Amino acid sequence: MRFTKSAITALFAAVLANAAPAPVPAGGVGVRPNDTAPEYHTMTDFDFQSLNLALNQEWIELDLFNYGVRTFSVEDFAAAGINEEEISLIQFMANQEVGHATLLTNILSAYGRTPAKQCTYAYDFYTVRDFVNFCQRLTRWGESGVYGFLPHLDSRPSAQLLLQSITTEARQQMAFRQLAGAFPMPVYFETGISQAMAWTSLQPYLISCPAENPRIEWPIFPALNVTNDANLLVDGYNAAISHNRTSLTEPGRQVQITWEAPKGNVSYDGLYNTTVGGNVTDPTAPKYVAWINQLNATYTEFNQTGNYSGYTFQPGGVVFNNTDDGIVNGTSFIALTDSNPYVTPYNLSLLNDVIIAWGLYQAN
């Protein structure tokens, strides 16, 4: 028997009309035909403040990548082992930031709210190699800053879009490590940090912002400085897909630390004033150093040697037994704290209450 095309079409239509929905295991949110359709906007002030912080991060990345390509010559890049095709990669990363900023602006501007516009920035590098090193540090806290709040957003649809943006930033961070001559991904797990931790890392490079920019509500902690921090830029290691080179640090290494005094509550512009965690009793006398990396928050004792100075020792250990995955590795985070509460990746923001100063540590 032969069927006409119209008869076959009618048969398929009848089958589809009577077909049962695809089976979905019990549980899950927004995965069934009758579930509420997704709406891509902020649902709470927590959402708005988190995504607006992320937008500020995208704006500085857009400015930074363009600034590097514009400031340094082809010859400057070549001296650092970076060719014209790799310069084009950096320029493409800037183009990616246009898309990321547009995405977040669209989400934030729903219902008449005002998203941040681009600010004016200042950078503290003067060579190509220092530029790419700064980029790998900035994209480190930009990536980790989103991972920290992503599962806590009330707007799951917005979280989905932001996830698809931040995975690109993860690739940027890896590429900048490669351009710096470093091993591209020296950790098994990428860490997440709180909004306050990310804002503290970002704000020193903001000079001024448009008056209509909404205030960023997250606190800013005093700056922590590792005075003997390792330099990612090792002589003889220029840009490459990967280098198998000796570790920059090791467990037991004495780490020299200074930190700044708090400057009072965060002001309206949110740029320069700093405050310590709400449970801190004495910001001049830290008790611990918190090492934030991969899946771990690890504490070591802090030994104070003077006003706003002291030392600790880099901890050892691995994330999981029977691996070589050191708990302190890559571009990681470090804080001076008043106490040593137990926290996990999902509730790391509880550390905000005990932080005296916050910074980065270049382990590898």
Average pLDDT of the chain? 93
Q: Is residue 251 part of a domain?
A: yes
Q: What is the pLDDT of residues 128-148, one digit of tens each?
A: 999 999 999 999 999 999 999
What per-residue confidence (pLDDT) applies to 273? 75
Q: Is the pTM of this model over 0.75?
A: yes
What per-residue confidence (pLDDT) applies to 22? 73
More confident residue, 21 or 306: 306
Three-state secondary structure of 91-125: HHHHHHHHHHHHHHHHHHCHHHCCCCCCCEECCCC
Query: For residue 338, what are the contacts with CB-CB under 8 A and spacing of at least 6?
Result: 276, 277, 279, 280, 281, 282, 286, 287, 288, 354, 355, 356
Shared domain for 194 and 270, answered yes or no, is no
Mean pLDDT of 201-229: 94
What per-residue confidence (pLDDT) applies to 24? 84
Give yes or no for residue 285 having a pLDDT over 60. yes
Mean pLDDT of 308-330: 96
Helix, strand, coil % (nearest 5) of the chain? 40, 15, 45
CA distance 227 to 334: 13
Domain that holds residue 202: 45-208
CA distance 46 to 8: 53
Give alpha helix (H) positions in the chain: 5-17, 45-71, 74-79, 84-108, 128-149, 156-179, 195-202
Question: Last residue of some domain: 208, 233, 267?
Answer: 208
Give yes or no for residue 56 having a pLDDT over 70. yes
Shared domain for 229 and 321, answered yes or no, is yes
* Residue 158's CATH number: 1.20.1260.10
Q: Is residue 243 part of a domain?
A: yes
What per-residue confidence (pLDDT) applies to 266? 53
What per-residue confidence (pLDDT) applies to 1? 58
pLDDT class of 14 with cuts at 50, 70, 90: low
Shared domain for 130 and 258, answered yes or no, is no
pLDDT class of 184 with cuts at 50, 70, 90: very high
Give yes or no for residue 325 having a pLDDT over 90. yes
